[in-house]
Structure 1
Amino acid sequence: MAAVLAGALGVALGAGAPARESFRGSAPAAGTVALAALPAEAQHTERLIRSGGPFPYAKDGTVFGNRERLLPSHPRGYYREYTVPTPGSRDRGARRIVCGGVQPREPEACFYTEDHYASFRRIVK
């Protein structure tokens, strides 16, 4: 019974999802996306992040809490989120770039999500 419950919990908690370690290291692997392969709006947002803005949305640059726990674990305040505009959307849409690091203009790592935090891919150059 305990094994069945543990198996069910594993599925409910996302067992089989990419390991957090897949986001670490410098070589492109599963869980990564080349900056050049992202939509033009995401590439523009990444340039804004590195230049310090100005950002089009008030929520851009605010702390991302990583409540989904899909990104590597860091203290609160490490991650910041930025909107990637979605053409035709009347609101901020679902696309975001989340960057982590001590200095927002020089992030240690940035991640792209096109499904409002349900999945992430690390952005590589």
Structure 2
Amino acid sequence: MSGIPQVNINQLPPEVQTTINLISIGSPYPHSKDGIVFKNLEGLLPPQTRGYYKEYTVPTPGATDRGTRRLVIGQNGEIYYTADHYITFQEVI
């Protein structure tokens, strides 16, 4: 266990599920940085080799930019959510 708190997807904003759906179908993403490598520089996620994690924007209603919400997806299907631009994470279950 990683020590990262777990959260049920139903407890998160609905835009999280929408973003997961886009990722699952490989749809064109709304932001050019969606799908780039997440480097885990903060060291808050379990250590993995570079390229293991990818990040995606979770839209924030009313935001005029990308906002602070992101999903980070691991190659083995792990899903991590941050509402505060990588300060804290929750593992989505």
Q: Same fold (TM over 0.5)?
A: yes
Greater share of helix residues, 1 or 2?
1
The residue that corresponds to 2:87 in the other structure is 118
Letter in 1 for 2:88: S
Letter in 2 for 1:75: T
**How far is 1:113 from its partner?**
0.2
Q: Which has the higher contact order (CA 8 A, sep 6+)?
A: 2
Structure 1: unaligned runs, 5 residues or longer: 1-19, 24-30, 102-106
The residue that corresponds to 1:94 in the other structure is 68
Greater share of strand residues, 1 or 2?
2
Structure 2 counterpart of 1:61, from 35, 44, 58: 35
**Aligned residues with identical type, % of pairs:** 49
Structure 2: unaligned runs, 5 residues or longer: none
Secondary structure of 1:112's partner? strand
What is the TM-score when the length of structure 2 is the normalising length? Answer: 0.94
